[in-house]
């Protein structure tokens, strides 16, 4: 399983039908709590990909994790 698939699965596991700050989703999804810049950037990219794929809904720009929110897609 690729790292991208693992990251996306962890992100989706932390999301629900309620809006959550992107930063909070990333902090909860990062394992083993390695909040390095590289891991942070990989998680932001994964969230943006999940939004483009329609798996997540977003309010704001996920590139700004403290100022945006995501939830599982309601489609």
Q: Could you report the per-residue pLDDT of 3-40, keeping only the tens digit for each?
A: 899 999 999 999 999 999 999 999 999 877 667 888 89
CATH class name, domain 3-72: mainly alpha
What confidence score (pLDDT) does residue 7 get?
94
Position 50 pLDDT exceeds 90:
yes
What confidence score (pLDDT) does residue 51 get?
97
Confidence of residue 1 (pLDDT cuts 50, 70, 90): confident
Model pTM?
0.91
For 34, residues 6+ apart whose C-beta sits below 8 A from its C-beta are none
Average pLDDT score over residue span 60-73? 97
Sign of CA dihedral 74, 48, 13, 24: negative
């Amino acid at each position: 399983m690729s790292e991208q698939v693992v990251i996306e699965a962890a992100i989706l596991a932390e999301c629900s039908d309620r809006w959550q700050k992107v930063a909070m989703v990333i902090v909860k999804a990062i394992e083993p709590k390695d909040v390095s810049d590289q891991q942070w950037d990989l998680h932001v990219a994964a969230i943006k990909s999940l939004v483009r794929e329609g798996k997540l809904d977003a309010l704001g720009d996920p590139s700004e994790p403290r100022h945006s929110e995501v939830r599982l897609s309601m489609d």
